[in-house]
Amino acid sequence: MFQTQQDKLNQDIQRWGDEFGRTRSALIPILQEIQAKYFHVSEHAMQVVANMLDIHPVEVYGVVSFYSFLDHRPKGKFIIRLCRTLSCAMQNKDRVARQLENDLGISFGETTPDGRFTLEWANCIGMCDQGPAMLVNDHVFTRVTPDKVHDILDGCRRAFGVFATEKRQEYLV
Amino acid sequence: MHNTKTGPLTFGSARINAGLQHAVKKHRSEIIAEISASGMKGRGGAGFPTGVKWNLAAAAKDEHKYVVCNADEGEPGTFKDRVILTEYADLVFEGMSIAALAIGAKHGIIYLRGEYSYLRPLLEAILQRRRNEGLLGENILSREGFTFDIEIRMGSGAYVCGEETALIESLEGHRGEPRNRPPYPVDTGYLGHPTVVNNVETLAWVACILAKGAHWFKSIGTDKSTGLKLFSVSGDCEHPGVYEFPMGISVADLLKEVGGEDAKAVQIGGASGHCVPASEFARTIAYEDIPTGGSIIVFGPDRDMVDVSRNFLEFFVEESCGQCTPCRVGSAKLLEGVEKLSKGACSMQYLRELRGLGETMQLASKCGLGQSAPNAFLSIVAHFKDELMGRIAAAPGEKE
Ligand code: SF4
Ligand code: FES
């Protein structure tokens, strides 16, 4: 990481400390912000947060590793989570899964080499009457068919201009 | 965003904030008495009487108390809380305010599952409007000393956090590992203070009960299970969606409403619930017969019950917090067994052992997750032996 980027991360963490408080209960909200902005919680970030909250870094790691929406490995800018639970499974989620893997060229649990997409399984996301359901970051897609997969991915790809590095997803409505 | 709602969802057509307006005119003990008289039991599935819970928290002596709304809806097949929060969030916040008044809490937290983060802006906006209208903040509705506000906290993708002590652990910034009980949250909850944790639906009904009276609620349902209940219906039926039915409805009547009459079985209560075969469709959905948080998954005549059982066990293997052995190891062993079953490579002896293991998990696991993980498997073994036995006999050639 460039020094400047590390500085930026440090500053952000202090700012979130101001916002949520410097207590243990603020830990998860702070980690959620880091995850959302930096697409992962790096070892460096864990160390800074641990110092700020005056807890052992292992405690922070324990929390990051427990929750499936937090990760210490870099994730894609778009995290696709396809529901694999029973009601969606009964509505042919397997075919959607295959199409996602084919179109992205990765398997579940992997991130594309360009860092754009991560493909993951989710457990029931509360759309069981309209499956197969999946989340792309904060957006929910229902009744997904293999056919629709291409359009959804295309929508995501359009968010990346030549210099676009920030998360942009307004078009995903 | 789609919000399929197939049955009428009325919440007794309660007027928003009518319940809170009644509550501020009452003494704390009168509010709790009203809830107790209604017979209201927790709608998350466990069915603990809401009045009793509030009474315990009200009796605790502490300057800081908390009201927590459990919006960590994660039981497979459940989505009613999503619909309630999208369409009736005011009722939920109103119910939290009534709870706060009753137990003497100043702080409210709604713990919203990470998968529902798209609801957050909507909920923030409603909270802000309620602040502007004087329904949150200081001296609410001119009641001297009634100060209460609500903050939203997000979950991070862990089913086990729906368990109330795990939820509190998570709020405190820890891994969502359930605690030993006692002590109970009503006594030692968030940050060690008395805390009432109620399900989204419970809180919405609380507002309706205060608005329309305990007798109205009690006049619906059965003696032991009063009132209306929301059901999330999915699977092999014509009209999946959210429905509102009186407690005590029979499985057969429910299936008729949703267009699933030809079902061979119904999973009631999600992955941690029970699989009810067609021969038992006359049974009723109520705390005294089949209790449920409201997840109904319908299985048509062609569903493979071994697949069903495998999918649920995969879920538990993934979501077990790993803290205790019966659940962590047991779920994995059961899954292994089901995989063997589905290949037709499971002996009768082995099946018996699996059943024994499941029963041990029910007894020896620390929290509800592990205790209920084997339920679906055990009820499938009990009711669909034909399917399992058939495989055992039919597929010797497929052994690995
Ligand atoms: S039963 Fe399972 S989820 Fe519950 S505490 Fe034990 S390991 Fe964790
Ligand atoms: S089973 Fe897929 S959203 Fe519930």
* B322 Cβ closer than 6 Å to some ligand 1 atom: yes
Q: What is the pTM of this model?
A: 0.93
- Residue by residue, DSSP assigns A50-102 as HHHHT--HHHHHHHHHH-TT--SS---SEEEEEE-SHHHHTTTHHHHHHHHHH
Radius of gyration of chain B (CA): 22
Strand partners, B153: B111
Position A166 pLDDT exceeds 60: no
Position B145 pLDDT exceeds 70: yes
Read off the pLDDT of each residue in B70-99 and give the average, rounded to a whole number.
96
* B320 Cβ closer than 6 Å to some ligand 1 atom: yes
The closest CB to that of A122, out of B115, B307, B312, belongs to B115
Query: Which residue of B4, B115, B118, B268 to mutate against A (max A Cβ within 10 Å)?
Result: B115
The ligand with the least distance to the CA atom of B297 is 2
Closest CA to B72 of B117, B41, B106: B117
User: Could you give the angle at which helices B200-212 and B80-87 cross, rounded to 10 degrees?
Assistant: 50
Q: Are B83 and B49 within 8 A, CB to CB?
A: no
The closest CB to that of A130, out of B2, B271, B297, belongs to B2
The closest CB to that of B297, out of A86, A123, A126, belongs to A86
Q: Give the whole-angstrom CA distance, residue A122 versus residue A141.
A: 13
Q: SS3 breakdown of chain B: % helix, strand, coil, rounded to 5?
A: 50, 15, 35
Distance B75 CA to ligand 2 centre (A): 9
Strand partners, B277: B265
H or E element that contains B324: none
Whether B76 and A124 lie within 8 Å, measured CB to CB:
yes
Model confidence at B5, pLDDT cuts 50, 70, 90, reads low
Position B331 pLDDT exceeds 90: yes
H or E element that contains A164: none
Q: Give the whole-angstrom CA distance, residue B313 versus residue B315.
A: 5
Listed in sequence order, the residues at least 6 apart from B198 whose beta carbon sits closer than 8 Å to its beta carbon are B42, B44, B50, B53, B67, B68, B69, B70, B95, B96, B99, B206
Three-class SS of residue B168?
helix
* A82 Cβ closer than 6 Å to some ligand 2 atom: no
Radius of gyration of chain A (CA): 18
Distance B361 CA to ligand 1 centre (A): 10
ipTM for the whole complex: 0.91
Q: Give the whole-angstrom CA distance, residue B366 versus residue B73.
A: 21
Residues of chain A contacting B170 with CB distance shorter than 8 Å: 28
Distance A107 CA to ligand 1 centre (A): 29
* pLDDT tens-digit series, residues A3-56: 688 999 999 999 999 999 999 999 999 999 999 999 999 999 999 999 999 999
Distance A132 CA to ligand 2 centre (A): 7
* Token couple for B65: 């108390």
* B327 Cβ closer than 6 Å to some ligand 1 atom: yes
Three-class SS of residue A168?
coil
Please state, rounded to an integer, the average pLDDT across all residues of chain B.
Answer: 92
* B5 Cβ closer than 6 Å to some ligand 1 atom: no
